[in-house]
């Protein structure tokens, strides 16, 4: 049984594969999916613990997920036109393309372009698969790690993770996968479309990367889709073609 699941929306001939953000499957943006599915068929990728996809019994990194995705794409024979990644999903796309280079059109939304800086204890943890498998059995530890990341991202010291279409284990596993994934822009920065919110903290570093097709959504934050659905949809249509 594959660790990768898809949910489908729309009936158009061309298919776009949407890669989720951290704890944020595409289904959390129904207005965006509704507008985009008027032009394309949508395949929303669901990682382990996301939506109806079950948690994995052991932690697996992005290399494993990329291989699972490749197997699933071959099995289902999806004739896809583009990959669209939201933050975490952009890093997963980069991992996939490093293993399986191709000329697929890529659209990255809120791509984290810099490696994550971690304290020493966290670096030891994330680079030891045995430690991760032991600690991920502890609900309190998983909640602590996920809450800490959530508070950093939201700049809100009171933020607490509540399962909403993503399990606690799914959030923990995908977070570890994200912070250990490599930045791989060399093969994409001249051809891919990069979309950022004007107030996204990742934008500052992205502007230093000489990205050929950089688009900025005015008055938008890291989740630049919500509240700006049609603007993002139109940028995707421009990138993929009508």
For 30-42, write each residue's pLDDT tens digit: 999 999 999 999 9
Residue-level length of the chain: 242
CATH architecture, range 5-115+183-240: 3-Layer(aba) Sandwich (3.40)
For 160-178, write each residue's pLDDT tens digit: 999 999 999 999 999 999 9
> What is the C-alpha to C-alpha distance for residues 36 and 50, in angstroms, rounded to an integer?
21
> What is the C-alpha to C-alpha distance for residues 88 and 92, in angstroms, rounded to an integer?
7
The structural domains of the chain, with segments of one domain joined by +, span: 5-115+183-240
- What pLDDT score does 101 carry? 92
Q: Indicate if the pLDDT at residue 58 is higher than 70.
A: yes
The pTM score is: 0.94
The answer to whether the CB of 108 falls within 8 A of the CB of 82 is no
For 191-215, write each residue's pLDDT tens digit: 999 999 999 999 999 999 999 999 9
| Helix 62-76 × helix 168-180 angle, to 10° | 110
Sheet strands (E) in 47-125: 80-86, 105-109
Average pLDDT taken over every residue of the chain: 92
Q: Indicate if the pLDDT at residue 120 is higher than 80.
A: no
- What pLDDT score does 72 carry? 92
- What pLDDT score does 110 carry? 97
Q: Indicate if the pLDDT at residue 108 is higher than 80.
A: yes
Pick the range with the lowest mean pLDDT from 22-26, 101-105, 130-134, 149-153.
149-153
- What pLDDT score does 242 carry? 58
- What pLDDT score does 45 carry? 97
Q: Which two tokens stand for residue 128?
A: 């030891």
> What is the C-alpha to C-alpha distance for residues 56 and 144, in angstroms, rounded to an integer?
20
Residue 73's CB: how many other CB atoms inside 10 A? 17
Sheet strands (E) in 146-226: 193-197, 213-217
Residue 24's CB: how many other CB atoms inside 10 A? 21
């Amino acid at each position: 049984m594959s660790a990768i699941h898809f949910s489908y929306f729309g009936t158009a001939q061309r298919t776009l594969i949407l890669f989720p953000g951290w704890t944020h499957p595409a289904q959390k943006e129904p207005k965006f999916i509704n507008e985009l599915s008027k032009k394309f068929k949508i395949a929303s990728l669901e990682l382990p613990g996301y939506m109806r996809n079950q948690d994995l019994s052991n932690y697996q990194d992005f290399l494993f997920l990329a291989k699972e995705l490749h197997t699933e794409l071959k099995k289902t024979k999806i004739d896809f036109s583009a990959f669209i990644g939201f933050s975490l999903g952009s890093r997963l796309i980069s991992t996939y393309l490093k293993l399986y280079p191709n000329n697929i059109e890529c659209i990255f939304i809120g791509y984290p372009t810099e490696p994550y800086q971690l304290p020493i204890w966290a670096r030891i943890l994330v680079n030891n698969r045995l430690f991760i498998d032991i600690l991920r059995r502890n609900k309190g530890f998983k909640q602590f790690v996920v809450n800490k990341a959530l508070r950093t991202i939201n700049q809100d010291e009171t933020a607490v993770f509540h399962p909403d279409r993503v399990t606690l284990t799914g959030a923990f596993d995908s977070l570890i996968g994200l912070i250990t994934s490599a930045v791989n822009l060399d093969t994409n920065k001249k051809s891919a479309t990069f979309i950022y919110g004007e107030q996204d903290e990742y934008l500052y570093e992205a502007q230093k990367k000489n990205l050929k097709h950089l688009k900025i959504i005015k008055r938008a934050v890291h989740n630049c889709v919500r509240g700006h659905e049609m603007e993002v949809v139109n940028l995707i249509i421009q990138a993929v073609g009508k």
